Structure 1
Amino acid sequence: MIYFDFAATTPLDQDAAEVYVKVAMEYFGNTQSLHDCGSQANILLENCREELAQLMGIHKKGLYFTSGGSEGNFLAIEALLSSPLKDGNHIIAGIAEHSSIHGVLNRLQKQGYDVTLIPFNADGLIDPELLLQSIRPETILITVQHVNSEIGTIQPIEKIAKIAKNNHIHFHSDFVQSFGKINLKAIAPLISSFSFSGHKIYGPKGVGGVYIKPEIPLIPFFPGGSHESGFRPGTLNVPAIAAMTAAAQKIIGRLEEDQNKFQLLRKAFIETLEPIKQWVKIYQADYERQLANIIGMRIAGIEGQWMMLECNRFDFAISTGSACQIGMQTPAKVTEALGLNKEAAKEFIRISFGHSSTTEDIIKLGETIVQIVEAFKPAPVID
């Protein structure tokens, strides 16, 4: 099967896998143990923390390891709400945020918080002016995903961070899709907190991290923890952290190479769809605000789930959106953010490229989709 669902997860990199096995066998001590085995594991852990902090341009003191992006989002939001910059109970978030964000927000609403959800404009971006207009005196938190996981648009984090700072509001961002694909050094220091995950960058599953500015006097959500300076309980998965660090070093070292490759693949795929262009709608922003390796689109008259199954029959793996959202059997959140009606939302599919993707394979996928559409003959798109 030819895999085109890299935005959902990636295969484990060979070098990262070797690091995992070596650390699991040779540095197996508990980092909190006082004997030499524990000390050696702790030294390795802190080396990983320092390396990742340098790669992202942040202070290592604010970097905590977690089980992944979802836990990171949860812990970051709770930490920021434990230490707001002013009194209030109002939160602003994007409609298209990851399900882990919406899960936290739904619970907070039951506790008395008021939440305003911001849609996308036609380019799949949050409008900073609309966000600014949504701010109230009691607004204490803004949470906006850096890169949308379903259409790949890159949100104006710098502008949002400035708005948040000027209004004394904490700003959290989900960096899961941008970590390893975009240079974060200029952006990461601007915000209060962000989350990231290992399995999106060819690292192991079940490991990630969250950054919270060290100067924020947070109160841990889980009391009494001894690991990660009390921020999170549970023995750390040092082998996975080391493997994730190795994967991060490798992918960040080839950022420019990947970006150039994915731009060419994106262009080739879109050109291949030319025979059915009257049925195809691709949701994307301008070049500067678009991650090239994620294509979110719909084909008029064909349900995305059916198209995904047809592609699967031809040995191509694509998706209908975020894997976490698919598990809920609901349309991708981005379709709501874009203002699509129920029928149009059901037509959404996502194709995402990775290191193993080739021009030949992406053209084969495009030709297969053309073949499926021409056999089905749906009605043309009406914008």
Structure 2
Amino acid sequence: MIYLDYAATTPMSKEALTVYSKVAIDHYGNTSSLHDTGTEASQLLHLCKEKLASWLNGEKDGVHFTSGGTESNYVGVQSLLQGNKQKGNHIITTKLEHSSLLNLWKRLEKEGYHITYLPSDKQGLISIDTLEQAICEDTVLVAIQHVNHEIGTIQHIEKIGRLLRDKNVLFHCDCVQSFGKIRIDVKAANISSLSISSHKVYGPKGVGALYIHPSVSWSSLFHCQSTAQSLRPGTVNTPGIASFITAAERAIEQMDKERERYEQLFDYTKQAIRELDDFIQLEGHSTHHLPNIVGLTFANVQGQYVMLQCNRYGIAISTGSACQVGQQAPSSTLLSIGKTEEEAKRFVRISFGRDTTYHHIDEFVVTMKKLYHEFSCVK
């Protein structure tokens, strides 16, 4: 099987697997226990926090490990809102966000919050001027994703952060797709809270992190004493965290080199499908774009059929975010960039990873040409 769905998940690296096993055997103590075994595990946890904070240009005390990006989004936003109720009940966001946040906004509206959804252009980029105009006295939080998970458009988070600093508004940023692929500076971008996930960078599933700036007021969702600075209760997953940090370290070290390779793969893909431009349209921003994510819409065939045909030929792709698979509604990202519901259903995403080669892209393009001829004959 040719795997072209790395934006959905990545395989665990050998280094991450080795560290997981070693820590599970040698450092199995509860990090809250006061005996030596617990202290060793606690020291390892603090080392992991220090490393992650350094990659974000943040503070160790701001790092909180979670079960993944969805929990980090949910807990981050809720904790900020509960800690800043006096500031107002207005939230600004976009329809480009991950489903974990889109679903949360619906619930918060029922609880009395007013949600403003910023429009985007046809390439998925939001306007800083439009954001500024949307801010009012009751605006407490802006939540804008760094990199879109379906079309790869990169938002100007540093410009957004500077604006929100001047307006004294909190900023939550979903960095699940960008972490390990683009440099993230929480200070330069004035980020109040940030979410990342291990399994996007060749670490284990079920592990992630939430960064909340130590200077920001927040309040835990949980009404019990926690082992993690009252953010979330429960025993810390030390082996998973150590494995995550091991995988992330390699991703950070190879980030610039891999980005350059992804740019070459992206350009190769763009050239290869050019002769099918009346059948396939490339989505996402032309310059502000993460090159390992390639969003495609088709002229006259549904994305689900394209995905099934690719699977038949031994190629794994997706029809969008894995968290939305099986839902009847079309992608909110595609609707946000101006697609009709019917057009949004003609979307697929391919995404590159460490093992992606030009041969894999060639095989994908061959399959697209078969589809093109199949539907040309039908017409």
Question: Does the pair score TM above 0.5?
Answer: yes
Residue 277 of structure 2 aligns to a residue whose secondary structure is helix
- State the Cα distance separating 1:58 from its structure 2 match: 0.5
Q: Deviations over 1:180-228 (max 9, x none)?
A: 1101136665211100000000000000000111012311111213211
2:253 — aligned with what?
Answer: 253
Match of 2:154 in 1: 154
Residue 80 of structure 2 aligns with which residue? 80
Matched, 1:349 2:348: yes
SS of equivalent residue, structure 2 residue 216: coil
For residue 190 of structure 1, give the secondary structure of its aligned residue in structure 2.
Answer: coil
Match of 1:158, SS state, is helix
Distance 1:249 1:314 in 2: 35
Shift of 1:54: 0.8
Q: Which runs of 4+ in 1 moved over 4 A?
A: 186-189
- Superposed, which structure 2 residues align to 1:360-375 within 5 Å? 360-375=359-374
Distance (whole Å) between structure 2 residues aligned to residue 180 and residue 378 of structure 1: 44
State the Cα distance separating 1:172 from its structure 2 match: 0.3
Identity %: 42
Q: Which amino acid aligns with 2:128?
A: P
Aligned partner of residue 102 in structure 2, secondary structure:
helix
Which residue in 1 is equivalent to 2:203? Answer: 203
Query: Deviations 1:246-271 (Å, cap 9, x if unpaired)?
Result: 00110110011101111111111121
Rounded to whole Å, the distance in 2 between the matches of 1:296 and 1:132 is: 29
**What amino acid sits opposite 2:267 in the alignment?**
K
**Residue 304 of structure 1 aligns with which residue?**
303
188-197 vs 15-24, greater mean Cα deviation:
188-197
Describe how 1:19-58 pairs up with structure 2 within 5 A.
19-58=19-58
User: 1:350 is matched by which residue type in structure 2?
Assistant: R
Aligned to 1:281: 281
Q: Equivalents in 1 of 2:274, 2:373: separation in Å?
A: 12
Cα-to-partner distance string for 1:110-155 (whole Å, 9 max, x where unaligned): 1000101112202211111111121222111100000000000100
Q: Partners of 1:320 and 1:367 in 2: how far apart? A: 19
Does the CA-based 8 Å contact 2:320-2:347 persist in structure 1?
yes
Question: What is the CA-CA distance between 1:378 and the residue it aligns to?
Answer: 8.3
1:220 maps to a residue whose letter is: S
Deviation at 1:29, TM superposition (A): 0.7
2:97 is matched with which residue? 97
CA–CA separation in structure 1 for the residues paired with 2:55 and 2:88: 35
Contact persistence 2:3–2:315 (CA under 8 A): yes
Is 1:320 paired with 2:319? yes
CA–CA separation in structure 1 for the residues paired with 2:343 and 2:225: 47
Q: Describe the SS at the equivalent of 2:243.
A: helix
Aligned partners of 1:23, 1:340: CA distance in 2, in Å? 48
State the distance in 1 between where 2:120 and 2:189 align: 25
Q: Could you say which residue in structure 1 is the equivalent of 2:338?
A: 339
2:70 is aligned to 70
Contact 2:162–2:189 (CA under 8 A) maintained in structure 1: no
Aligned residues: 379
- Counterpart for residue 241 of structure 2: 241
Give the root-mean-square deviation of aligned CA atoms: 1.6
Shift of 1:327: 4.1
| Aligned-residue offset at 1:371 | 1.6
The question of whether the paired residues in 2 share the 8 Å contact of 1:120 and 1:127 is answered with yes
When structure 1 is superposed on structure 2, of 125-134 and 171-180 the one drifting more is: 125-134
C-alpha contact 2:99 2:323 (8 A) present in aligned 1: yes
Gap runs ≥5 in structure 2: none
Deviation, structure 1 residue 25: 0.7
- 1:187 and 1:144 map into 2 onto residues whose CA distance is 16
- The gaps in structure 1 that reach 5 residues or longer are none
| 1:131 lines up with 2:131 in the alignment | yes
Q: Which moved more, 1:69-78 or 1:267-276?
A: 267-276
- Alpha-carbon distance in structure 2 between the residues aligned to 1:188 and 1:211: 15
Please report the TM-score for the alignment, with normalisation by the length of structure 2. 0.97
SS in structure 2 opposite 1:229? coil
AA paired with 2:363? K
For 1:322 and 1:47, the matched residues in 2 are separated by 33
From the superposition, tell whether residues 327 and 195 of structure 1 become closer, same or farther in structure 2 (CA, over 3 Å).
Answer: farther
Distance in 2 (alpha carbons) for counterparts of 1:316 and 1:17 = 25
